[in-house]
Each structure stands twice: as C-alpha cells, then as structure tokens.
Amino acid sequence: MMRKSLATAVLLLAATAARGATGELNLFAWSEYVPQAVIDGFTRETGIQVNYESYSSNEEMLAKLVSGAQRYDLIQPSEYVVEALVNEKLLLPLSDDKLPNLRNLAPEYREITYRGARYSVAWMAGTVGIVVDGNKVQDEIRSYRDVFQEKFRGRIVIVDDPREIVSWALASLDLDVNDVSDGNLARARTVLERWLPLVKVYDSDSPKTALLNGDVDIGIVWSGEAALLYRQDKKFRYVLPQPGAHRFLDNLAIPANATNPQAAHRFIDYILRPQVSRLISAEFPYTNPNLETRRLLTAEELDNPASYPKATVSLTTLRDIGAAAVKIDKLITDLKAAN
C-alpha cells in the first residue's frame, strides 16, 4: 500500500508540474472581450488562476500601467499603444519559441514586429464604423458628417474614446488622422463643438446596449458590437464611413515588470489554438486574425458585414502620437464639460 500511495503521489506531482500549476496570471484587458470559457479552460489545463481586471480605453490602461499601482502579467493594448509602450521600454520582448501556435495567424498578423523584436501577438482586429437602425433612420448614411446632423440630436451613441473622436473630425476635414499638430487640433475642435452636443450616450464598454434598448437610433461603435447587433436583428446596418475608417488591432503583450511572464506566454499560446480562438469569435465577433479559426466559423459568421466587411474604403491604423495624447484628452474633456 505504501508503494502504491507513493507512486500515486509521484504521478500527481508530475501531472501538476506538467500543467505548470504555479502562481497566478494578472490579466488587464478590455471589458467584454475575454470569454469566461477561455479563462476557465486555461485554468483547468494549467492550474494557473487568472485574475481579470478590465478597462474601457487604451488611455485608462496606460495611466494605470504607468502609475505602477498594480502589476500585470498580460495586457491587451491596441496597435498604436503597443508602439508607444515599446518606445518607452515598458514591454518584454516575446519568445517565439514559447508560442508554437503563432503559425495559425494570417501572415500579415504573424509578421508584426517592432524594432526587430516581437512585443505583441494579435488578439482581434476590427474597424470603427457607423451603425444605423434601419427601421428608424431612412437616410443614406455614408460619412461622419451624415451622423452628426441636427435632426439626429439626442439619438446618437458613440464610443467614449478621445483619440477616436478626434480622428473622426480630422477625417471629415480630409486631414491625416495621425497628424495631431496644434493647427489640426484647432480645426478639429471647431468641428467637434458642433458635433458633440448632439450625442446622447458615450459608451466604450457596450455601445450596442443603447441601440438595442431603442434609446438611440444611430451610433459610431466598435465593429464587434455592430456584429452582435446585426446577429440579433438585421435591421441594424453597418457602414464603413467614407472616405476612410480606422482599422484597429488589439493585442496581447507582457509588461516589463510582469511577475509571471511564463504564465503570460502560456496564455498567449493557448488563445492561439483554433478551438480556443473560436470561443472568442463566438462571443465577440470581431475580425479573427487566426486563419485556422476562420475555417471553423459558419458561413453566417463569415457573412456578417461588421465582422468581415466587404465594403472597399480606405482603412487607416493609428500611430503613437506621444505627448499630444494629453492634448487630445483635454480637448474632449473640455468639450464634454461645455455640454
């Protein structure tokens, strides 16, 4: 009996070691973006407990990360924030040899590097576009200017994201959305002074809610939110604004002061498995950068015009703008307070 008990104990210890059941993973990510089933599955397999804290904007995440009030093992920054964090040496370079499932990503996402090293891995891609309740809005909506009309006052929801909001004004003026010179911001301010008083709801967490509840009829939202609206009711149309829209890429990255980078690598590789990434697409139907996962999606999912838009408009990614981000935050804060 002693030998049998000892053998059983050894097997249990070996299994625990193989699972890497050591410590916890502190995940700081966008709200409503990480399925609980993914977290639970990772914990069952590895024994690593995931502590999931959420934020509503890249700027909120950056402020908390830089403050050092809390140490995180894994964060979920968008493309321009990864660039900023790399410039400030606030991310650890990733070890590709610990990420064998990188091969599942489409080449354009797999090959993203900064300064010759990989600092992030794609989570989901998407666009920021216009959602219209077709039962209530009969107008042809093609641009930001079409949304911000006096007749839609009190009927508009937009994401509560200063960088996004300013980029819409710049785009409407045919200006480069990454050129945030003082002159361009002054011109954007003039536009936004007319636009923002028309907005009823600012919501980055779940902008679809106001549309579903009938509180508003039109909005500028994340494409995944638009996809969920379309899935529920085909009356919701998704429009990529002319002349161009923002295409974003949300990523997983490891902060330089992470306490458990080994667990962070394991989580990244875990979500790169097609079956696991499939869970993310099912709950949050953005554009999945995992080619092997796309093979598992239904025709209905692939035909969702918000998840995989077929419209041909110019798509732009945002770049790191350094200290100008503070000016943008103040600009939007001041304009919202004036209303």
| Domain limits for position 276 | 2-125+248-302
Q: How far apart are CA 154 and CA 111, in angstroms?
A: 44
Residue 49 sits in the same domain as residue 76: yes
Is residue 43 domain-shared with residue 136, that is, in the same domain?
no
Three-state SS for 91? strand
- Dist. CA 175–CA 131, nearest whole Å: 23
For 121-178, write each residue's pLDDT tens digit. Answer: 999 999 999 999 999 999 999 999 999 999 999 999 999 999 999 999 999 999 999 9
The DSSP element (H or E) to which 245 belongs, if any, is strand 244-252
Residues whose CB is less than 8 angstroms from the CB of residue 43 and which lie 6 or more positions away in sequence, other chains included: 49, 50
Give the pLDDT of residue 18: 37
Strand order across the 74-75 sheet: 49-55, 24-30, 74-75
| Domain match, 270 and 328 both | no
What's the structural domain count of the chain? Answer: 2
Confidence class for position 243, pLDDT limits 50, 70, 90 = confident
Instruction: Supply the pTM of this predicted model.
Output: 0.88
Work out the pLDDT band at 115, boundaries 50, 70, 90. Answer: confident
Please report, for the domain that includes residue 331, its CATH number: 3.40.190.10
d(CA 116, CA 83): 13
The SS3 of residue 236 is strand
20 backbone φψ class: left, alpha, beta (φ>0; ψ -120 to 50): left
Same domain, 213 and 320: yes
Asked if residue 231 has pLDDT above 70, the reply is yes
- The pLDDT of residue 311 is 73
**Residues 316 and 218 reside in one and the same domain:** yes
Kindly report, residue by residue over 162-202, the tens digit of the pLDDT.
999 999 999 999 999 999 999 999 999 999 999 999 999 99
Question: How does pLDDT run across 81-106, given as a tens digit for each residue?
Answer: 999 999 999 999 999 999 999 999 99
Q: Do 51 and 116 lie in a common domain?
A: yes
Do residues 107 and 202 both lie within one domain?
A: no
Are 55 and 116 in a shared domain? yes
Residues 98 and 204 in one domain: no
Residues 306-325 have pLDDT tens digits of 999 987 788 999 999 999 99
- Tell me how far the alpha carbon of residue 86 is from its chain's centroid: 18
Q: Do 41 and 117 belong to one domain?
A: yes
Residues 134 and 119 grouped into a single domain: no
Dihedral of alpha carbons 80, 84, 86, 92, sign: negative
Q: What whole-number distance in Å separates Cα of residue 279 and Cα of residue 291?
A: 14
Which pair of structure tokens corresponds to residue 77? 């920054």
Q: What per-residue confidence (pLDDT) applies to 21?
A: 43
pLDDT tens column, 203-219: 999 999 999 999 999 99
User: Could you tell me if 70 and 206 lie in one domain?
Assistant: no
DSSP 93: P
